[in-house]
């Protein structure tokens, strides 16, 4: 079986790379399982001070694997996205994401659950759920605390695409730089984090993230159920069929 999430360590940074470009790094069962395994590996690795998430291909992550969600039920798929966010927020080591290309729907949950999100200025983001008679329910657990209310209302309700510069202005990402400078910026930030004491990093991260953990634990189950109800509706099925027809055309 081809590995969909790879792991490497260098200079105190444990790098998890999403490597499933054939389906735009969708959150399939295999990818999510490997992601949790690699994250646990990074947490247990004494050489790792900082966890870095990056992706191969021109899509960082397209969100839930809808073909699998149709088989397993959207409540399970939404539950997976909830748990994925929680694992990143509760990771005792700082998590940095390197973002380029397209970032969509459930993939934005990874962005918001990370401690530091560094984006190419021309990366594109979109909460596409509203176009499919859905709502960005599960990822709202981490997205809403990051973004301003006005920015969330505009992007959630229109489903419009916005770039890395706008994402930084909204608070969704930490900083946006030209893609040619992205690796250097990621290296600089990771080096700054690696210079911190592990205990200081761990306790400071827990302090910063405790409201996110509380929000996930209080509302995660209800929002997963909301996703399941919407996904199973006649309106959503009709909208998704129309979308797939347009995509094939």
Q: What angle do CA 52, 11, 200 make, to 5 degrees?
A: 70
Domain annotation covers residue 239: no
What is residue 59's predicted lDDT score, i.e. its pLDDT?
97
Read off the pLDDT of residues 159-212 as tens digits, 9 standing for 90 and up: 999 999 999 999 999 999 999 999 999 999 999 999 999 999 999 999 999 999
Domain annotation covers residue 55: yes
Per-residue pLDDT band for 119 (boundaries 50, 70, 90) equals: very high
Statement: residue 249 has pLDDT above 60: no
Domains contained in the chain, number: 1
Handedness of CA 177, 178, 179, 184 (dihedral sign): negative
Alpha-carbon distance of 82 to 34, in angstroms, equals 16
What is residue 169's predicted lDDT score, i.e. its pLDDT?
98
Alpha-carbon distance of 83 to 78, in angstroms, equals 9
Read off the pLDDT of residues 48-96 as tens digits, 9 standing for 90 and up: 999 999 999 999 999 888 777 666 666 777 888 999 999 999 999 999 9
Per-residue pLDDT band for 97 (boundaries 50, 70, 90) equals: very high
Domain annotation covers residue 69: yes
What is residue 82's predicted lDDT score, i.e. its pLDDT?
94
Helices 198-231, 74-90: axis angle to 10 degrees equals 170
What is residue 211's predicted lDDT score, i.e. its pLDDT?
97
Domain annotation covers residue 156: yes
Q: What is the pTM of this model?
A: 0.95
Q: Which domain holds residue 65?
A: 5-180
Domain annotation covers residue 14: yes
In this structure, of 119-128, 179-188, 240-249, the range with the lowest mean pLDDT score is: 240-249
How high does pLDDT run on average in the chain?
94
Average pLDDT over residues 224-230: 91
Handedness of CA 163, 36, 144, 240 (dihedral sign): positive
CATH code of residue 66 = 3.90.226.10
Q: In the chain, which residue ranges form alpha helices assigned H by DSSP?
A: 29-44, 66-72, 74-90, 107-113, 140-146, 149-158, 164-170, 179-194, 198-231, 234-248
């Amino acid at each position: 079986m081809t590995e969909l999430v790879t792991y490497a360590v260098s200079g105190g940074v444990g790098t998890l790379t999403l490597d499933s470009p054939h389906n735009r790094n969708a959150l399939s069962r295999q990818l999510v399982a490997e992601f949790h395994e690699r994250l646990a590996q990074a947490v247990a690795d004494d050489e790792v001070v900082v966890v870095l998430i990056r992706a191969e291909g021109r899509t960082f992550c397209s969100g839930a694997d809808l073909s699998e969600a149709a088989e397993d039920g959207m409540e399970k798929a939404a539950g997976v996205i909830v748990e994925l966010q929680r694992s990143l927020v509760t990771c005792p080591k700082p998590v940095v994401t390197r973002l380029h290309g397209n970032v969509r729907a459930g993939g934005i949950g990874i962005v918001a659950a990370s401690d530091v999100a560094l984006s190419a200025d021309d990366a594109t983001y979109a909460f596409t759920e509203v176009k499919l008679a859905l709502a960005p329910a599960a990822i709202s657990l981490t997205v809403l605390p990051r973004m301003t209310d006005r920015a969330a209302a505009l992007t959630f309700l229109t489903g419009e695409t916005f770039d890395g510069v706008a994402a930084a202005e909204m608070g969704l990402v930490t900083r946006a730089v030209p893609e040619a400078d992205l690796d250097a910026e990621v290296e600089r930030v990771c080096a700054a984090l690696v210079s911190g004491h592990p205990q200081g990093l761990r306790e400071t991260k827990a302090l910063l993230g405790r409201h996110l953990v509380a929000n996930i634990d209080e509302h995660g189950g209800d929002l997963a159920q909301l996703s399941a109800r919407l996904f199973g509706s006649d309106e959503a099925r009709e909208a998704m069929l129309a979308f797939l027809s347009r995509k094939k055309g």
